[in-house]
């Protein structure tokens, strides 16, 4: 939580000292936004919908040529694609933020109904920002943090405890933004959670 600045803190800032709040959250740089939010990307959703439509064409051709049993399989295939297209359509009409990063932590409403506080995060795994579309997060207390979530989300706690696989994966595949944008937002508050290869991304990108 943000705290009022005391005179001592003000003098420290004037002398160039880097301040870190008592809860470990680094105050954002001057001029930084209060939070970084990411919504569904209509452009990415259109590409995904086109891919699903192309995937439905073989089923349509096979339905016309196949026997009764194979036709039922084709119908099931087409029904699955219709469900996925409906999900994409509903996402395209939403304007609310799906993923946000702020002084309190990371909130992905696809995974949880609350944010993951910075104190609950052990570290963010290294990411190839040029190729990857996902971010893997290791939790300090995976069972406690993921308690009350859907079964498919809670499985992440077991994977981290039993196999060392990060408990949480955040996908940017259909969101308006890139992995580098999320890492840059994290760096405003908790750069210590980033792997050393992903620190200073904005500086690197701005260097000619």
Task: Supply the range of the domain harboring residue 48.
Answer: 42-92
Q: Are residues 121 and 190 in the same domain?
A: yes
10-residue mean pLDDT profile of the chain (208 residues): values are 42 37 44 76 94 88 82 90 90 90 96 97 96 97 96 96 97 96 95 90 49
The tally of domains found in the chain comes to 2
Same domain flag for 117 and 202: yes
pLDDT of res. 48: 94
Q: How far is CA 99 from CA 23, 34, 62, in A?
A: 22, 14, 40
Dump pLDDT digits (tens) for 60-109.
888 778 788 888 988 898 999 999 999 989 888 888 999 999 999 999 99
Verdict on whether the full-model pTM lies above 0.95 = no
The average confidence (pLDDT) of the chain is 83
- Nearest residue to 35 via CA among 184, 205, 172: 184
Residue 193 lies in a domain: yes
């Amino acid at each position: 939580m943000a705290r009022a600045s005391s005179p001592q803190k003000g003098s420290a800032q004037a002398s160039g000292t880097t301040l870190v709040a008592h809860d470990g959250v680094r105050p954002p740089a001057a001029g930084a936004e209060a939070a970084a939010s990411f919504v569904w990307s209509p452009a990415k959703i259109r590409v995904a919908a086109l891919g699903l439509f192309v995937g439905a064409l073989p089923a349509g051709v096979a339905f016309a040529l196949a026997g009764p049993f194979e036709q039922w399989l084709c119908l099931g295939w087409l029904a699955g694609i219709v469900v996925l297209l409906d999900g994409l359509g509903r996402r395209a009409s939403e304007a609310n933020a799906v993923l946000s990063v702020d002084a309190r932590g990371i909130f992905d409403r696809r995974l949880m109904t609350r944010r993951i506080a910075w104190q609950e995060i052990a570290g963010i795994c290294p990411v190839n920002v040029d190729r990857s579309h996902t971010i893997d997060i290791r939790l300090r207390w995976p069972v406690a943090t993921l308690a009350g979530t859907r079964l498919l989300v809670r499985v992440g706690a077991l994977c981290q405890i039993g196999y060392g696989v990060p408990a949480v994966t955040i996908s940017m595949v259909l969101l308006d933004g890139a992995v580098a944008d999320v890492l840059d937002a994290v760096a405003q508050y908790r750069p210590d959670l980033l792997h050393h290869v992903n620190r200073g991304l904005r500086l690197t990108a701005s260097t000619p």
